[in-house]
Structure 1
Amino acid sequence: MPSLNPYLSFRDTARQAMEFYQGVFGGELVVSEFAEYPDMGVEPGEQNLVMHAQLETPDGFVLMGADTPSHMPYEKPAGFSVSVSGDDEAALDGYWNALAADGTVTMPFETPPWGGRFGMLTDKFGIDWMLALNATQG
């Protein structure tokens, strides 16, 4: 069965970002460096950068990321958000608080007109997030 997973691009901070996300969401993180694939054309000083990282969490999230080597064009992520939603308020509060640390809250995690809770932020690595606690059905 196909899956749809966010794949985040970084410039020299993929390892720190993916380890941060592992701290937020838990799970198993597997990291491959460019040094493991010498034919990728990456400069010798960049061999320790992340060629591919994959985080699989106990909740079933899969988040991937990599560094963009200096010989390739890079633009900071823009125009999308990673969205996390569900019914577990305690878990979502924990994710919110961790992702917001040293980040920028653009909309507090509060009750919107449609119920539940909703918030938006940019984390310390420049990734935009939306978190939503599903409204209770009455």
Structure 2
Amino acid sequence: MTTRLNPYLSFDGDARQAMEFYRDVFGGELRLSTFGEFGQADTPHADKIMHGMLESPSGLTLMGADTPPGMEYEAGGGYSVSLSGDDESELRGCWEKLSDGGSVSVPLEKQMWGDIFGMCTDRFGVPWMVNISTQD
């Protein structure tokens, strides 16, 4: 198996909805496991997501889970998820879905370095950077 670096996102009880949203954005296979499936069936968080993994047809992997009981949830903890490539149609489609219901801090448009770039925070509070490489 090849070594990979995958973003792993933490959520405050809405991991299922968020991961299903990302499946709608990127496509692919989503696998979700709850705390209840791993021995915590008689707890208030049994239906919350202990581990989720999305693998898209284009090779993207995104993981996420609800914050475990006893741990404090911290939204936006100093990170952004970067999505980049040269398939403008695919990346613009992802941008439209990610920014819908969220907030845009940098509109998706041509930048001084020549690429099309934008920054948004999706409706789940996850910050995204989208960069579309252009060939001049």
Range into which the TM-score falls when normalised by the shorter chain: over 0.9
> What is the rounded CA distance, in whole Å, between the counterparts of 1:75 and 1:89 in structure 2?
33
Q: CA deviation at 1:43?
A: 6.9
Q: Is the 8 A contact 1:34 1:51 kept in 2?
A: yes
Is 1:32 equivalent to 2:42 in the alignment?
A: no
**More displaced stretch, 78-87 vs 93-102:** 78-87
> What is the rounded CA distance, in whole Å, between the counterparts of 2:27 and 2:125 in structure 1?
20
TM-score, with length taken from structure 1: 0.93
Unaligned runs of 5+ in 2: none
**1:25-104 to 2 correspondences below 5 Å:** 25-38=26-39, 44-104=43-103
Residue 10 (structure 1) aligns with: 11
The count of aligned residue pairs is 135
Q: CA deviation at 1:74?
A: 1.7
Q: Is the 8 A contact 1:52 1:64 kept in 2?
A: yes
Q: CA deviation at 1:44?
A: 1.2
Large movers: runs of 4+ above 3 Å: none
Q: Per the alignment, in what secondary structure is the counterpart of residue 91 of structure 1?
A: helix
TM-score, with length taken from structure 2: 0.95
Q: Per the alignment, in what secondary structure is the counterpart of residue 46 of structure 1?
A: coil
Unaligned runs of 5+ in 1: none
> What is the rounded CA distance, in whole Å, between the counterparts of 1:87 and 1:43 in structure 2?
48
Identical amino acids, percent of aligned pairs: 50
Q: Per the alignment, in what secondary structure is the counterpart of residue 45 of structure 1?
A: coil
> What is the rounded CA distance, in whole Å, between the counterparts of 2:80 and 2:71 in structure 1?
23
Q: CA deviation at 1:77?
A: 2.3
